[in-house]
Amino acid sequence: MALRAGSDDRETFGTYIYFQEIESNDTRDISHYEVRNTKERAFLGYISWFPRWNTYVFHPREQTIYEETCLREIAQFCVLVTKKHKKSLREQKRKST
């Protein structure tokens, strides 16, 4: 159930789903990700930064359902990109001081 990198830095694959970084006009250097299934590449939802909770969160598409493997991988991916984002913020803060 480990996530694995895709052919480029913008994709991460799970068992039945994958995450793809999408272009954003966000000037705060915050990434956004689509979640799709690997079989039909159907859009399942997206992951974005939620500032009030200081973490990335999953926004599921209406009327989609998930079993435990997908839910674990979505949670694992949210933790992964949250850590990456916070590390980047710390490095930017260090450079500015």
pLDDT tens profile 40-76? 999 999 999 999 999 999 999 999 999 999 999 999 9
Structural domain including 21 reads 4-96
The yes-or-no verdict on residue 1 having pLDDT over 70 is no
Distance CA(8)–CA(77), nearest Å, equals 16
Distance CA(44)–CA(60), nearest Å, equals 6
pLDDT tens digit sequence for 10-27: 999 999 999 999 987 766
3-state secondary structure of 14: coil
Q: Can you give the pTM of this predicted structure?
A: 0.90
Work out how many domains the chain is built from and give that number: 1
Element (H, E) at 44: strand 43-50
